[in-house]
Amino acid sequence: MSASPVNSPRSIHSPKQASPKDTRPFIYLYKVEFPDNPPKRIRMPKDMKELLSIATDILELQRPATQVFDSNDDPVTEFEKIIPKANLYISSAKPHTEEDDEFIYNKTSRVYKDPLEGLKKLPTVKQPKVKPVPEDANTQCTIAACPLTVKQNLRNAIISLYASLTPDHITHLNCAETMTKLTKETQIFEFENALLSQYIAPTTVINHTPLGQQTTNWMMEKLKGLPAEDCRFIITGPSQSGKSTLLHIAASLFFNKLQLAGETIHFLMFPLNWLLHQIYIDDVVKLYHLFVKTTLDMLQICRLEFIPLMQSLTNWLFNLITIPGLPAMPPTLSHFPDFPVHELNELGKRIHNTWFREDGFHDFVEEIVNFPNNLAKIFGFISAIYVYDHFDACGYQINVPVEQFPAPYQEPVNLSELICDSLKGCPFFIASQNDGDFFNIFSVQEFHQLSTERLIASKGERELVVLQAKVLITMDMCRGCPAYCALFNHVCDLAAEVTRRAALKSQFSKLKSVVDIARNEQLKQEFIRMCILLGAADTDGHFDENKMNELMSMPEISIRVR
């Protein structure tokens, strides 16, 4: 076996002895993803397959080369079109093909598809069935907008139906006794709720305390044996001394008395807290709405058979000062049996005429304050019973709204005088602060005056002592006012709790927990508030101003109960 000749370095450079392979031209290969990198130079291969194989190795591609592009980014599909020193860009991406597997590089032979051809057809979404609108849709909307719960509406419907039955029907009912009990309990609940919504109630619940029982018994003695027509009480006293508490107890006892005597259908209660509505007393429209809404709420309590008509009656009364023409009575009211349509039309005509009369401002305000009593007489009541809290807050003069009453020479209306005129001939329970200026304009002569002072006769067994200022507070300084006595007991309980639940019991310890500091601060604030109230009503000289000022300036005080 003969050995092959070995070419010397000189023979490589000699064109006579060089191999034909070495004379092939060079081409330059680039990665299509990195065209700015230096190219790789190779000799011209034999065919396209060899070119792709060499390009895969020399460019170190992760996948075999599949496509070749020229400098113009046109694909090279024929090997013969590659010229010497050509710049070729190699790609490993799979070439795009048509459905017949032909290459689509030839632009002239490319067939463009319809853009909508490649869209995927999604399944149709099943549309929900449109429910037909029920026939009682309006009724359902009315129920949804009602502020009462479904349970309350059902209760009102049942007791309204029961109240509209004749005595013969009631005697044949097996549940007559239960329905009577439900009716009375509903009336008591609604009346108590009306008082609470007007904030005619004690700040602290004292019903089940000895103090509350003593106050209730004292008020029962005042009402004992007194006819309803003669219940004309004025409750006075210092600020925050329990006037609202006594008024709440008196009104509740009187309503229970009416129920026991079966006279709730003869008197219409009308509770109103003037301090709560003092901000818009000078707005006659809001004042009218307030009197109408409160009166109809109380009418609903006493005449349960008219519960379904209250909303229609309210809207009709509101429209009297809204529509220029006198609105007609709604059919639900005019067709209801035993409903006083004629009398209501006369009342509505008076209100409407005074509102739209240019000089009718004084008469319109007079119609407002007399509205509870006028409506009570229309529905067969003897009279209205006014329950006014903070009556001194209504001592205002209302200026004439010129845009509604443009007639000249109309004087402002003194609201308190008109209210006093409306009280003549009607029972009432009124709580007012002991203000001499106000009672100078109170024109009602026949009434029983009750004072919150000296009401509580019992003396307390506990005393409050302030160690730093040498201040001693006893229940005798509360002047017998139920609210002051309740506040005194509350402060005593706080002081006892601070001492009992102290984290560090030693009185000489300088360390105090955060909880102890918070309890002491709460006790200090309650004690100072009690001293301010008692000092404002003090006539016996128990409170020294210098000591009180010194007490308030101290950062920390020690209060003990003994």
**Mean pLDDT calculated for residue range 164-186:** 91
**Mean pLDDT calculated for residue range 134-149:** 84
- Domains in the chain, please, with CATH? 9-109 (3.10.20.10), 144-223+240-451 (no CATH), 463-561 (no CATH)
| 4 pLDDT tier (thresholds 50, 70, 90) | very low
Q: Between these two residues, 343 and 461, which has the higher pLDDT value?
A: 343
**Mean pLDDT calculated for residue range 365-369:** 95
The 3-state DSSP class for residue 455 equals coil
* Structure tokens belonging to residue 397: 């003069």
Token pair 């059902």 is found at 154
The 3-state DSSP class for residue 287 equals helix
| CA dist., res. 364 & res. 284, Å (int) | 9
Q: Between these two residues, 14 and 53, which has the higher pLDDT value?
A: 53
> With 0-12 CB in 10 A as exposed, 13-18 as middle and 19+ as buried, what is 290?
middle
> Could you give the percent of the chain with pLDDT greater than 70?
87
What does the angle CA 471 – CA 474 – CA 479 come to, to the nearest 5 degrees?
A: 120
**Mean pLDDT calculated for residue range 305-310:** 92
> With 0-12 CB in 10 A as exposed, 13-18 as middle and 19+ as buried, what is 211?
buried
At 559 the pLDDT is 81
**Mean pLDDT calculated for residue range 297-311:** 93
| CA dist., res. 502 & res. 562, Å (int) | 17
At 88 the pLDDT is 87
At 495 the pLDDT is 87
Tell which residue, 384, 378, 460, 450, has the closest CA to residue 419.
384
DSSP state, 133? P
- Express each pLDDT in 74-85 by its tens digit: 888 888 888 888
302, 265 in Cβ contact below 8 A?
A: yes
Among 160-164, 237-241, 375-379, 506-510, name the one with the lowest average pLDDT: 506-510
| CA dist., res. 40 & res. 321, Å (int) | 99
pTM of the prediction?
Answer: 0.69
| 10 pLDDT tier (thresholds 50, 70, 90) | very low
Among 11-20, 237-246, 507-516, name the one with the lowest average pLDDT: 11-20
Residue 126 has pLDDT above 50, yes or no: yes
Residue 556 has pLDDT above 90, yes or no: no
| CA dist., res. 552 & res. 556, Å (int) | 9
Q: Tell me the H-state helices in 398-460.
A: 415-423, 436-439
**Mean pLDDT calculated for residue range 124-151:** 84
340, 299 in Cβ contact below 8 A?
A: no
- Express each pLDDT in 33-59 by its tens digit: 888 888 888 888 888 888 888 888 888
Residue 525 has pLDDT above 70, yes or no: yes
At 419 the pLDDT is 92
* Structure tokens belonging to residue 47: 């065919």
| 13 pLDDT tier (thresholds 50, 70, 90) | very low
| CA dist., res. 94 & res. 67, Å (int) | 8
Length of the chain: 562
Across the chain, mean pLDDT equals: 84
